[in-house]
Each structure stands twice: as C-alpha cells, then as structure tokens.
Amino acid sequence: MTSKKHGAKPGQVTPIASALSLQTTAPERIAALHAIRDRYLGDSSSQQCARLLEAMQSLGHCTTFEASRYLDMYYPPARKLNLLQQGHAIQTTWRTVQTESGATHRVGVYSLKRGQE
C-alpha cells in the first residue's frame, strides 16, 4: 500500500503503514455516530459530552477522528476532560487512521473502563 506523503517531493510515492495497522470507519459505524450526533443537537459542551459518552457506551469506543468528523466536535480531548471531571473513567489507547486525503494520523481511542459502561 502506498500513498503520497505530506512533505514528499512532487510525484514521489512513499510506503505508509501496513493495511493491518490502518483503521477506517465502516459506513454502518458512521451512520450510528451520525444518529448519536442528531440526538444531541447543538455545540454546547454539555451536548458534545453527551454525544461522546453515548458513542463510548453504545459503540464500545470512539476515536478522536470519529468524534471530530462524525460527532461534530471541534476538540474531542476537551470533552474527554469534561467527562473525566464528571467522574467517568475513560481509557485512552492509540491507533493510526488514514484520512480522506490518504495521510495517516495517530489518534486517541476513548473507551469507558470496565464497569463504567
């Protein structure tokens, strides 16, 4: 698998992470995230927190990429911090995702710690 990498010379194709390490969001998951977004309309921090919390509860986890793209959050780490301050136990792991442009990014994966679902 190859892709044009940011900073590469024009026309240069460079290898990117193996297909096994790249994660993309399935259309069914995008639809579920959009349904959550549509249940909690608005841009207030409380509405954004509700969206992120429901995504973690109903889908098992939510990446910062998914929260930004599909839950309409400008800065997901701030909403994670709000949820932590409210007493939710959130675990962060890391994953590499590929954007629509083909660039790869390391993103956080938020999930509720066991017993917090």
Report if residue 18 sits inside a domain: no
Which residues constitute the domain of residue 98? Answer: 25-112
| pLDDT tens string 56-111 | 999 999 999 999 999 999 999 999 999 999 999 999 999 998 888 889 999 999 99
Report if residue 79 sits inside a domain: yes
Report if residue 5 sits inside a domain: no
pTM: 0.78
CATH of the domain at 44: 1.10.10
Note the pLDDT of residue 23.
65
Beta carbons of 88 and 53 less than 8 angstroms apart: yes
> What's the domain count of the chain?
1
Q: With DSSP H G I counted as helix, E B as strand and the rest as coil, what are the percentages for the chain, rounded to 5? A: 40, 20, 40
57 closest CA partner among 16, 86, 89? 89
| pLDDT tens string 22-32 | 567 899 999 99
Q: Does the structure show a pLDDT above 90 at 16?
A: no
Report if residue 46 sits inside a domain: yes
